[in-house]
Amino acid sequence: MSRHFISVISTSDTDLIHWFKILQKKSLTPEPIINYMLRQFPWQAALYLTLTTGGTSFCGGALISSTWILTAAHCVQGVTAVTAYLGVVSLSDTSRVTAQASRAVVHPSYSSTTLANDIALLQLSTSVSSSSYISTISLATSTLGTGVSVTVSGWERTSDSKSWVL
């Protein structure tokens, strides 16, 4: 039996369908902010990706339950393994919590051409415990209106010679 890391959900996966309905792609134009504080974004996950080509890549994600991370569908295309780092604001921090993903679930209407529905879920092979540095993000219960201020978090490099920071 062949094992697939990436799968497309079926309509029988009601919990996943519910999450995808809640998590609709929004068009945002945030101003870049590099100031961060430990515990400010305890749901932020750093994702190290092993590619089918043998190379590696990097993406970010958000912990939405103790066993699921939300990320972009384009991040898991051509990927054979994902390691998630949680609980840190710098990837050089050795106190991080590490979790392996057991599968990736891509939105059934994802288009790699247009990036429509560019959403995927990563199921972790083990449950992640909450702490003062790690917690889940609250999911929206309704659609945002026009002109609403939001905060966007993610990983970036402040220079080519520095480690990734939140």
The answer to whether position 103 is within a domain reads: yes
When pLDDT is averaged across residues 8-32 and rounded to a whole number, the result is 44
Residue 60 lies in a domain: yes
Alpha helices in the chain, H assignment, sequence order: 14-22, 73-76
54 domain residue, yes or no: yes
Q: How many domains does the chain have?
A: 1
Kindly report the pTM of this predicted structure: 0.75
Write out pLDDT tens, residues 144-162: 778 877 777 777 655 555 5
CATH number at residue 12: 2.40.10.10
Instruction: Give the integer Cα–Cα distance in Å for 133 and 86.
Output: 8
Q: How confident is the model at residue 163 (pLDDT cuts 50, 70, 90)?
A: low
DSSP string for residues in 35-80: ---TTSSTTEEEEEEEETTS-EEEEEEEEEETTEEEE-HHHHTTEE
Question: Tokens 């921090």 correspond to what residue?
Answer: 93
Helix (H, G, I), strand (E, B) or coil at 139: coil
pLDDT for the residue 95: 79
Domain presence at residue 165: no
> Coil, strand, or helix at residue 166?
coil
In a domain, 31, yes or no: no
Residue 29 resides in a domain: no
**How far is 41 from 153, CA to CA, in rounded Å?**
7
What digits encode the pLDDT tens for the residues 51-106?
Answer: 999 999 889 999 999 999 999 999 999 999 999 999 887 777 777 899 999 999 99
Rounded Cα–Cα distance for residues 3 and 137 (Å) = 30
Asked if residue 28 is part of any domain, the answer here is no
Range(s) of the domain holding residue 14: 6-23+36-156
Question: Is there a domain that residue 136 lies in?
Answer: yes
Question: What's the whole-number mean pLDDT along residues 131-156?
Answer: 80
